[in-house]
Amino acid sequence: MKKNRQGGKACKDVTQPLTVGQVAKRSGVAVSALHFYEQKGLIKSWRNQGNQRRYHRDVLRRIAVIKSAQQVGVPLAEIANALSSLPDNRAPNSGDWARMSQAWLQDLNHRIETLTKLRDNLSSCIGCGCLSLQNCRLRNPGDSLSEQGSGARLIDPD
């Protein structure tokens, strides 16, 4: 093992690209997931002369953004769209994260509101089971079918 001038372990060259195994180990993401992210356009690699994938080091920060966004339910397509607005080969910085997460916050709040309404409606259905088009807010939320006229609306006329 090489030693640096202070006698400690030598640092690895931080300018060197990473292999897929190194990215997987350092990010905690399976190689198959990395390939999936790449297929979806979330991360990028290139092939070296030996036809092996190589990644710029900024990929680790991009993966951290992807995993964090996924935890709050942001769809991969939206994450890919947000990451595509960043310059290539630059790690997302705190300003980038603030901008992306602010946009996702509104969507998250909307989903929480929708799920809260669904939960409340489900609470009134527990133990009922009628699934009535007239009375059940889960079956016919907001009585939207009444706007289509009276009578059965979900039955195909043929």
**129 touches ligand FES (CB under 6 A):** yes
CB closer to ligand FES, 98 vs 115: 115
The answer to whether the CB of 59 falls within 8 A of the CB of 23 is yes
As measured in angstroms, the least distance from the Cβ of 71 to ligand FES is 32
The answer to whether the CB of 23 falls within 8 A of the CB of 63 is yes
Binder among 64, 103, 125, 145 for ligand FES (CB under 6 A): 125
**98 touches ligand FES (CB under 6 A):** no
CA distance 26 to 23: 5
Residues 6+ apart with CB under 8 A from 128: 136
CA distance 13 to 87: 23
As measured in angstroms, the least distance from the Cβ of 114 to ligand FES is 17
**145 touches ligand FES (CB under 6 A):** no
**138 touches ligand FES (CB under 6 A):** yes
**130 touches ligand FES (CB under 6 A):** yes
**Closest-CA residue to 18 (of 80, 64, 60):** 60
As measured in angstroms, the least distance from the Cβ of 124 to ligand FES is 6
